[in-house]
Amino acid sequence: MQDIKKRARERVKTKCKVCPVCNGVACAGDVPGMGGIGTGVSFQNNVKALAALRLAMRVLHEANDPDCSAELFGRKLSLPVLAAPVGNVPGNLGSDFSDKEYFDALLRGCREAGTIASLGDTPDLERFKSSVRQIGDYGHFVIPFIKPWAEEQVLQRMTAAKAAGCDMCGTDVDSAGLTILRRAVPPVRVWSPKELASVIQKAHELGMKFIVKGVMTPDEAVIAADAGADAVIVSNHGGRVLDHTPGAAEVLPSIADAVGNRVVVMMDGGIRTGADVLKALALGAKTVLICRPIVVIAHGDAQTGISKYFAQIRDELTQAMRLTGCANLGAITRRAVS
Ligand SMILES: Cc1cc2nc3c(=O)[nH]c(=O)nc-3n(C[C@H](O)[C@H](O)[C@H](O)COP(=O)(O)O)c2cc1C
């Protein structure tokens, strides 16, 4: 992994230092780039919130061989960790990796690792359509995250994704805060609860599960559930849309409590190790997503780097479960953290 990171550093050095811990300090304010917006505090809070949690060590139990396999909407996953969506890889990383090459590596790496890949969106409908055509026979394991455009634009993308074999999709509703996309044609916008419900209904009519990404308060999680969402992702978009937000792990427990079993609760922001995954699951997430480390690792060794990174996370998670007495993911509860 160190060699892979070294190679990645050479390739992305103008935009990302590939720090020992990817925590948003060196890249504060680098948006576009790999950082968090403004002071960078929202990104840093994601990492700090997880680092502040302690694991309760338990070593007298039956969980010697924990099972960290997961399930999402009926799909079996080898671990409860998905690849998060990322847009404009060459622009944000300052690299020679095209979006097409990155997505190809991601699809192969996620397939090897036994997990789900996500696809980011762009104002250019034809570019989006060309990405979904890359998905091949892995559609059942890909989540396209469509930006909060006007409904007609969203419907065109959902229809293209469905034709490519996807039966899950979502919207990063917090992208309404991305200045560059507010000025784009078409522009992103803040959706009303009614607009959200209408989009979700269209997704369901197409036979697709719908995930709302970018929920940071219990009341908005309830709005998403009331609108018919199948899942919410507790996320501040890696701290890229609004400065001075809490870390996702800080707000996760209250959001999980507010929606209970009405929707699947997912989370991203600052997950870097298997111990972080266990912490997020203990706070109420069913699965988590990782973005920056995966994009960086892909620059070091494409799909092999990605699948090795997932394997490392799986090993770390298994060890953390063994040493906290959790035989399977269902056994991870708040008593695992303090
Ligand atoms: C360069 C970059 C581009 C991103 N592009 C998207 C995107 O197109 N759609 C989206 O939903 N999230 C996007 N995100 C947010 C990530 O999916 C994720 O929510 C966030 O980075 C938190 O995870 P991390 O701390 O593991 O990076 C992007 C993040 C980065 C760093």
Identify which of 315, 312, 271, 301 has the alpha carbon closest to the alpha carbon of residue 84.
Answer: 271
Q: In this prediction, what percent of the chain has a pLDDT beyond 90?
A: 96
Nearest protein CA to atom 20 of ligand 1, as residue: 238
- Reported as a single tens digit per residue, the pLDDT across 234-253 is 999 999 999 999 999 999 99
CA distance 109 to 85: 14
What the block records as the tokens of 322 is 């063994």
Instruction: Quote the CA–CA distance of 322 and 210 in Å, as a whole number.
Output: 34
Secondary structure of residue 47 in the 3-state scheme: helix
Question: What per-residue confidence (pLDDT) applies to 36?
Answer: 98
Q: Please report, rounded to a whole number, the percentage of residues in the chain having pLDDT higher than 70.
A: 100
User: In the predicted model, what is the mean pLDDT of residues 128-141?
Assistant: 94
Give residue 71's pLDDT: 98
In this prediction, residues 67-73 reach a mean pLDDT of 98
Look-up of token digits 């034709």 = 163
The pLDDT value given to residue 282: 98
Average pLDDT score over residue span 178-192 = 91
If one counts every other C-beta atom within 10 angstroms of the C-beta of residue 98, the result is 11
Q: What is the pLDDT of residues 289-322, one digit of tens each?
A: 999 999 999 999 999 999 999 999 999 999 999 9
- What would the mean pLDDT of 257-286 be, rounded to a whole number? 98
Is the pLDDT confidence value at 185 over 90? no
Atom of ligand 1 nearest to the CA of 272: 26
CATH code reported for the domain at 2-13+72-270+285-311: 3.20.20.70
Residue with tokens 């494409």: 302
Distance CA 53, CA 24 (A): 19
Q: Using an 8 Å Cβ cutoff, are 84 and 293 in contact?
A: no
Mean pLDDT of the chain: 97
Domain spans of the chain?
A: 2-13+72-270+285-311
Residue 64 DSSP class: S
Answer for the pair 132, 161: CB distance below 8 angstroms, yes or no: yes
pLDDT single digits (tens) 23-36: 999 999 999 999 99
pTM equals 0.98
What is the per-residue pLDDT for 180? 87
Mutate to test the pocket of ligand 1, among 240, 277, 279 (most ligand atoms within 8 A of CB): 240
Q: Whole-angstrom Cα distance, residue 238 to residue 24?
A: 9
Q: How many angstroms does the Cα of residue 86 sit away from the middle of ligand 1?
A: 5
Compute the average pLDDT of residues 106-118.
98
